[in-house]
Structure 1
């Protein structure tokens, strides 16, 4: 599993560890390697029995967890360190009134520490960098991929992930071809006399790219669609989307490009932006990466006199009757286009909506789910279990029954 860097903590924590603790780090590594002798083992037990050793535990956890991970390749490492350190600190700092237990806690705690790291290092050797916690079953759900259906103007359908170029039906005035894995390109071959519409739909667990007749490049996320003419006729270029799509619009000052959803219309001349308009989300979010766009309520039609204009790094949030502007988190908003599932201060429900679309599963909740925010992520090529391991560190548990993921405390 490949991992994403979220917070570069290594430098910060190394500064906090004094040179006098170098010996303790050596003993810690010896313990993990099973090369520690009895005298060294006693020193380590006595050291970790001290309350002031908790920050060192944190650093040693971080240092060892990241030792086999290349720089810029660590997902949610801070969250993992926080969760494991809190558990170990509770074990290594016993209550004073439990004197008998206090006497033996360091031994039990160090055994627990060794078990935890043995599991971590075993997993790192097999390309997993997060611990497997016990669940009712081992969840293995493969990620999505390049899948889509092309719907022609006459209603015929073409499965793009399996069809070859010579079997894509011809369309008047345009040449359609697959130019790479998960990419379709439209090339105008003649001047069209009428509008002929095609639609590309991705299922749950699917994604696809299309280059429109004007050379606009569109990325479609899972459970999304785009309806567009095979040739842009008239004074504008208009497409209709559902779900989520990222656009790199070809510049044409004489023909503004418009993206319509159920709630809004976005108008641009040439720019890069993302539109998230899933029906199960509370609003439509338009995020601008480059250029400038105007966002208008659908109820206003093509009258853009009261449209909201945003600059790069901003986003609009649109509901049926309202548009607001705010600062965008580009990393989160564009993660899917960059082949990542990334969430920042997101609820478990928000995360699970992404999971359901990409891994093509249903999600149900049982019991009182903790009201917590999560920051982390994985690559979209990873197995679902790799993401669940992160979440399970925060007192969440999962079961997969048929195609339904059960989330419970």
Structure 2
């Protein structure tokens, strides 16, 4: 089989548009040890612009790949295909990449049970991912819709000019010296995100269903803001004016640093994660100072975790979902906010899951990726995801 043809079959399998006769052809080819080089090259090409990343756990790679072949064999011609063999060396590299190329395929597995439902039912009701959008609420109550299309000056408050740049970013410019302190709020809906540069130069990213309440110009000696949801900050250093973030009764104080605050009301705690610099987290008379790589979890008290996976925690800001061995309910809360859908658990799912995928993919592809890991099945009814064993 020519490499170009193999790549075409892989892509059709990914898109659930591979007819049965070509499915047989693909499965037969995958079982040919002699074609390892061709397969690996085709897979690497297919991955070049794809949304998936290779799992890090070798056992998971092999287990998922064996499941893919087994299910595909059932779909194609059960009696005609040979059992899947364990392979090593170069084949393991091909397996690792192959898992991801086929992650969007019509392959579903539960713990030892065969299902007959098929992905197209999911795809017909597909839900698109979130986009750059928010609402700016001015001090006088006026509301301005923000999205990636808006450009230029949006409003003038005293000597402060509010404008939106070409990349969808909101900028505040001016000292505010000619008037009293007034406050604005930027709020993202479910299925939205936004970026803003505050009057002091601090850069702020808002995740879905989040808000930032701030003055149009900071008074001398203080910089205080309030947040809900999840917000990431890159604070402009000002030794004479500490930057204070308040969220659900927790105060985070910094001079100049990079950190993330997750204060969603449906999460068990307010989590502050430090990437660079130093922050002080205070709650009900108790306080801790964080070092880079640490996270303060505030619930009834303050608990500090060290060596947290900051790359995974900040994946949302960088346009990805990144979860490593965490409960499905935690993952589904992220999905619910970003795709603006409701999630209903029909069955209790106790397994943990790992996922590394772009936030730009349609909902159906992300759910197929999770189903591929086994033990879970999703049904989408308009804007509701039903989770089953």
- TM exceeds 0.5? yes
Q: 1:339-382 deviations in whole A, cap 9, x for unaligned? A: 1111111111001000000011111111233x111112211111
The CA distance in 2 between the partners of 1:184 and 1:89, in whole Å, is 51
Q: 1:147-195 deviations in whole A, cap 9, x for unaligned? A: 0000011111000117745662321120111113321000015414422
Equivalent residues in 2 for 1:322-333, closer than 5 Å: 322-327=301-306, 328-333=308-313
TM-score in terms of structure 1 length: 0.72
Compare CA radii of gyration and give the structure with the larger one. 1
Q: 1:365-407 deviations in whole A, cap 9, x for unaligned? A: 11233x1111122111111122111111213111111210111
Aligned residue for 1:83?
A: 64
Offset, 1:81 = 3.5
Aligned residue for 1:262?
A: 248
> Which range moves more in the overlay, 149-158 or 138-147?
138-147
Counterpart check, 1:382 vs 2:368: no
- CA separation of 1:314 and 1:65: change in aligned 2, threshold 3 A: farther
Q: 1:365 aligns with which of 345, 349, 373?
A: 345
Q: 2:335 aligns with which of 332, 355, 360?
A: 355
Q: Is the 8 A contact 1:194 1:233 kept in 2?
A: no
Equivalent residues in 2 for 1:316-327, closer than 5 Å: 316-319=296-299, 321-327=300-306
> Would you say how many aligned residue pairs link Structure 1 and Structure 2?
331
Equivalent residues in 2 for 1:35-184, closer than 5 Å: 63=40, 66-68=43-45, 69-70=47-48, 74-77=52-55, 79-85=60-66, 107-109=80-82, 130-133=104-107, 134-135=118-119, 137-139=121-123, 140-161=126-147, 164-165=150-151, 168-184=154-170
Aligned residue for 1:249?
A: 235
TM-score in terms of structure 2 length: 0.76
Offset, 1:33 = 8.8
The CA distance in 2 between the partners of 1:292 and 1:90, in whole Å, is 51
Residue segments in structure 2 that go unaligned for 5+ positions in a row: 1-24, 86-93, 108-117
The CA distance in 2 between the partners of 1:91 and 1:257, in whole Å, is 56
Say what the alpha-carbon RMSD is for the aligned residues. 3.6
SS, match of residue 331 in structure 2: helix
The CA distance in 1 between the partners of 2:167 and 2:68, in whole Å, is 45
> Which range moves more in the overlay, 162-171 or 360-369?
162-171
Q: Is the 8 A contact 1:204 1:223 kept in 2?
A: yes
Q: Is the 8 A contact 2:190 2:338 kept in 1?
A: yes
Offset, 1:71 = 10
SS, match of residue 85 in structure 1: helix
Q: Is the 8 A contact 2:176 2:216 kept in 1?
A: no
The CA distance in 2 between the partners of 1:283 and 1:190, in whole Å, is 36
Equivalent residues in 2 for 1:260-409, closer than 5 Å: 260-297=246-283, 299-300=284-285, 306-319=286-299, 321-327=300-306, 328-369=308-349, 371-393=350-372, 394-409=374-389
Offset, 1:235 = 2.2
